[in-house]
Amino acid sequence: MTRKLLWGIIVVLLVTNLTTLLVWVNTKEQDSTSSTNKLAPVVEATEEPVALVGDEKIHHEEWMATLQEQYGEDILREMIDKQVVFQLADQFEVDISNKLIQRELALMETMLPVMDESEIKLKREQWENDVQYRYFLEDLLTKDIGISEKKIKDFYEDHQDQYEFHTTYQFSHIVLPSKETALKVKEELDNGAEFSMLAREYSEDEYTKDKGGYLGYFSVESRYLPSSYYEEAESLGQGEYSSPFQTDQGFVLLQLHRTLPPITFTYEEVKEQIKREIALDYVSGSLSASPLWKEIGVNWIYGD
């Protein structure tokens, strides 16, 4: 079974004042990947209080000390893990197909609400590093595990569909009792009214009414929505809405927020990923970078 581990984005709360958290990684040179993982401090060090609670002040040093005490070790381990994995991936020349990464990002994007393009771009940039990290980690943990060509081929034939990302639409809708009402609502839309506002006012779909008519993301393979939704979506651009069309629920006005294009793979393109997925079943314990620390040399002196 595919391990679609959509790991949460690692939030680094503390990178300033790391002089007490020294990590020595033995390597010949600082690889270029490492520089992309540097994060700016959440708040710059300052003598001014970071918060006032009544007349009491909370100072930056006090805040930093509390964060270090509660989360310092966990964050440091995550930072070491990433450094180890990206450096070893470079050392062993691990190559992950960009299409696999884009498929993963597309799957993650389907969990987002309605957002503008700049926000989505930022999210994908944040996710991409974590997706690369996970694929690199899987490859490094399984690189010495042999899987036969027959086993890989059989797995592909049994699970081929799960590697396909079908065209996916992000929808909102307004369900109305009659064509007359639907035309009236469309006229309000044409005059500049917000789709979500009109959905809250007029829609008869109780499930989405309070959410401004928001439905979410749906693949063309999904049978949850009527086929007419996908037919209408083909002629809509991003942010556009349809003319009223009839369904079993009533007359519908459909808004298309985003379209995610299909991503398909040949056997050769997905072969190495299938090998990794099968090999992961032979990896004992959790999916952790800790076993790789010894390969690159990590001197753990936290708390000394």
CB-side exposure of 147: number of CA atoms within 13 Å? 21
> Rounded to a whole number, what is the largest CA-CA distance in the chain?
75
Residues 112 and 28 in one domain: yes
3-state SS of the chain is CCCCCCCCCCCCCCCCCHHHCCEEECCCCCCHHHHCCCCCCCCCCCCCEEEEECCEEEEHHHHHHHHHHHHHHHHHHHHHHHHHHHHHHHHCCCCCCHHHHHHHHHHHHCCCCCCCHHHHHHHHHHHHHHHHHHHHHHHHHHCCCCCCHHHHHHHHHHHHHHHCECCEEEEEEEEECCHHHHHHHHHHHHCCCCHHHHHHHHCCCHHHHCCCCEEEEEECCCCCCCHHHHHHHCCCCCCCECCCEECCCCEEEEEEEEEECCECCCHHHHHHHHHHHHHHCCCCCCCCCHHHHHHHCEEECCCC
Q: What does pTM read for this prediction?
A: 0.75
Residues 127 and 195 in one domain: no
Range of the domain at 284: 18-161+268-300
Buried b vs exposed e over 277-287: b needs ≥16 C-beta within 10 Å?
bbbbeeeeeee
Give every CB contact of residue 216 below 8 A, 6+ residues apart in sequence: 110, 170, 171
Q: How many domains does the chain have?
A: 2
Q: Is residue 4 part of a domain?
A: no
Residues 58 and 140 in one domain: yes
What is the pLDDT at residue 120? 95
Q: Is residue 98 part of a domain?
A: yes
Say if CB 275 and CB 143 are below 8 A apart: no
What is the pLDDT at residue 168? 97
Q: Is residue 11 part of a domain?
A: no
Q: Which two structure tokens, joined as six digits, stand for 203?
A: 């829609």
Residues 183 and 236 in one domain: yes
Q: Is residue 200 part of a domain?
A: yes
For residues 89 and 20, give the distance between their C-alpha atoms in angstroms, rounded to a whole number: 28
Give every CB contact of residue 219 below 8 A, 6+ residues apart in sequence: 166, 167, 168
CATH of the domain at 205: 3.10.50.40
Name the residue among 192, 151, 167, 176 with its Cα closest to residue 281. 151
Residues 110 and 181 in one domain: no
Residues 24 and 115 in one domain: yes
- Residues forming a β-bridge with 173: 254
Residues 41 and 140 in one domain: yes
Say if CB 207 and CB 225 are below 8 A apart: no
Residues 177 and 252 in one domain: yes
The stretches in the chain having pLDDT less than 70 are 1-46, 302-304
Residues 223 and 144 in one domain: no
Sign of CA dihedral 117, 120, 122, 125: negative
Residues 51 and 35 in one domain: yes
What is the pLDDT at residue 67? 75
What is the pLDDT at residue 91? 95
What is the pLDDT at residue 43? 53
Residues 38 and 157 in one domain: yes
Q: Is residue 139 part of a domain?
A: yes
For residues 139 and 134, give the distance between their C-alpha atoms in angstroms, rounded to a whole number: 9
For residues 247 and 4, give the distance between their C-alpha atoms in angstroms, rounded to a whole number: 35
Q: Is residue 6 part of a domain?
A: no
Q: Is residue 195 part of a domain?
A: yes
For residues 214 and 204, give the distance between their C-alpha atoms in angstroms, rounded to a whole number: 13
Residues 211 and 111 in one domain: no
Q: Is residue 9 part of a domain?
A: no
